[in-house]
Chain A
Amino acid sequence: MKRLPGASIWVALFWIITLFASFNAIAKSFTSESRGRMLYLYSLVSPEVFIGAKAIYQSVILLVLSIVAMLVYQVLFEMVIQDYFVFVISLVFGSTGIAIILSLLSTIASKAGKNFTLLAILGLPVLLPLLMVTTTLMKNAIDGIELSVQLKYIFVLLGLNGVSLALALVLFPYLWRE
């Protein structure tokens, strides 16, 4: 007989795993590009387009990552989920939010040269509001809380995604000019 953890521990553990995976996935993205290619891209597109494309690309990577992680996680620690719709929403927008915030912060960290450690230091405090809302939403989805109660968390999650995307679009051009 397997002893299963409670919903809040289950959710927290999952997001810790995903967070470490995303730090690793995104920290690579800016260092792997050479200076020459950055200059080429600079002449080609506007910075807003560049960061937008970057955020979309990162979001897709993180989505795939978190979905695969969730499947494996479900196989190993099965959890009965009562509200699949909200559960998937929290998974999707949690990942896109992390991707958007980290794609701006990884530019900052790569400018400083020390990539991974600095990204973790910069990223953790800024990511926590997003993670708190996501974990609450996901835990409530597992417990099958009414959609009317969940709606405010969904709106805040979407709002956080929107605010971070807007900030990334406004602030990135300043980082790009050298």
Chain B
Amino acid sequence: MQRFGIGLQVLTIILVMYTLVGGLLISVPALDILNETIRNLFYHVTSWFAMIFLFILSFSYSIAYLRSGKSSHDLLARIFVEVGIIFGIAGLTTGMLWAKYTWGAYWVPDPKLNGAAISMLAYFAYIVLRNSFSDQIQRGKVSAVYNIFAFVMMILFIFILPRMTDSLHPGNGGNPAFSGYDLDNSMRMIFYPAIIGWIMLGLWISNIKVRLENVKTKLNQEK
């Protein structure tokens, strides 16, 4: 596994620091109800982008594993799920904080929110499934099958079902998304780098985890 190059590391740090500092400092449109909470766009939406990106990678590596049977593909599929879950939890937490200040409650029974929470459960189930095998090849195969199945169901659950019913969440059921009315150009200057920064951060963490796993297997072989 190649290292996440020093140039990419510096770029990630710059992008993440830029969004953290810039996102809090720039002037945002002072809108009714939303007001300053609009800054959550930089952290909440980008977390979900990064999570979906990592889950798509994991899904493709699961397919690759079923076709090739290489253990490195299985490892990548697992790591991307683990890191994706971290970003999913970040997305849920930032969303809950935002909801407290705009909707008045941390959690409301809404199709989109429940869909996101249930999808996280499906990926927890993936981790549970992986841990219940002792044979490595069988573990890889079976969990790859479950990963593919869970991913398709997650896409249905997050992107298709909430569109059928009305949802409180911005972007559904007549609620305009942020971009609909208030994403002005200064916000775009933070939002787009933030997406790239968050995704790169996810890739960097995954890279470190994969290399750590490789070192562990090598040490085990030498014993």
A interface with B by C-beta (< 8 Å): 104-105, 108, 111-114, 118, 121-122, 124-126, 128-129, 132-133, 136, 152-153, 156, 160, 163, 167, 171, 174-175, 178
Whether B125 and A174, one on each chain, are in contact in the complex, defined by CB atoms closer than 8 angstroms, is no
Number of interface residues of B (CB under 8 A): 29
Residues of A close to B125: CB separation below 8 A: 121-122, 124-125
User: With an 8 A cutoff between CB atoms, is B157 at the interface?
Assistant: yes
Closest beta carbon of chain A to B67's beta carbon, Å: 9
Closest chain A residue to B123, Cβ basis: A125
Closest beta carbon of chain A to B192's beta carbon, Å: 31
User: With an 8 A cutoff between CB atoms, is B133 at the interface?
Assistant: yes
B interface with A by C-beta (< 8 Å): 66, 111, 115, 118-119, 121-122, 125, 128-129, 132-133, 138, 141-142, 144-146, 148-150, 152-153, 156-157, 160-161, 164-165
Would you call the interface of chain B mostly helix, strand, loop, or mixed?
helix
CA distance A167 to B142 in the complex (A): 14
Whether A126 and B122, one on each chain, are in contact in the complex, defined by CB atoms closer than 8 angstroms, is yes
Give the number of residue pairs across the A-B interface with Cβ within 8 Å.
Answer: 73
* Ranked 8 nearest A-B pairs via Cβ: A125-B122, A125-B121, A112-B132, A171-B145, A129-B157, A126-B153, A111-B142, A121-B125
List 27 A-B pairs, Cβ < 8 Å: A104-B145, A105-B149, A108-B146, A111-B138, A113-B132, A118-B129, A118-B132, A121-B125, A124-B125, A125-B118, A125-B122, A126-B149, A126-B150, A126-B153, A128-B157, A129-B161, A153-B164, A160-B156, A167-B148, A167-B149, A171-B148, A171-B149, A174-B141, A174-B145, A175-B142, A175-B145, A178-B138
Q: Of B115, B141, B146, which one neighbours A122 at CB under 8 angstroms?
A: B146
CA distance A56 to B167 in the complex (A): 36
CA distance A129 to B155 in the complex (A): 10
Residues of A close to B132: CB separation below 8 A: 112-114, 118
CA distance A104 to B148 in the complex (A): 12
Whether B153 and A129, one on each chain, are in contact in the complex, defined by CB atoms closer than 8 angstroms, is yes
CA distance A125 to B128 in the complex (A): 13
Whether A167 and B152, one on each chain, are in contact in the complex, defined by CB atoms closer than 8 angstroms, is yes
Whether B161 and A133, one on each chain, are in contact in the complex, defined by CB atoms closer than 8 angstroms, is yes
CA distance A128 to B111 in the complex (A): 11
Whether B156 and A129, one on each chain, are in contact in the complex, defined by CB atoms closer than 8 angstroms, is yes
Closest beta carbon of chain A to B130's beta carbon, Å: 9
Closest beta carbon of chain A to B59's beta carbon, Å: 12
CA distance A24 to B198 in the complex (A): 43
Residues of A close to B66: CB separation below 8 A: 174
> Quick one: which of B115, B153, B157 has the most chain A CB within 10 A?
B153
Whether B142 and A108, one on each chain, are in contact in the complex, defined by CB atoms closer than 8 angstroms, is yes
Residues of A close to B153: CB separation below 8 A: 125-126, 129
CA distance A167 to B156 in the complex (A): 13
> Quick one: which of A121, A153, A178 has the most chain B CB within 10 A?
A121
CA distance A114 to B152 in the complex (A): 25
Closest chain B residue to A166, Cβ basis: B152
Whether A132 and B142, one on each chain, are in contact in the complex, defined by CB atoms closer than 8 angstroms, is no
Residues of B close to A133: CB separation below 8 A: 161
Residues of A close to B129: CB separation below 8 A: 108, 112, 118, 121-122
Whether B148 and A152, one on each chain, are in contact in the complex, defined by CB atoms closer than 8 angstroms, is no
Residues of A close to B160: CB separation below 8 A: 156
Whether A163 and B156, one on each chain, are in contact in the complex, defined by CB atoms closer than 8 angstroms, is yes
Closest beta carbon of chain B to A57's beta carbon, Å: 20
Whether A163 and B152, one on each chain, are in contact in the complex, defined by CB atoms closer than 8 angstroms, is yes
Residues of A close to B164: CB separation below 8 A: 152-153, 156
Residues of A close to B141: CB separation below 8 A: 174-175
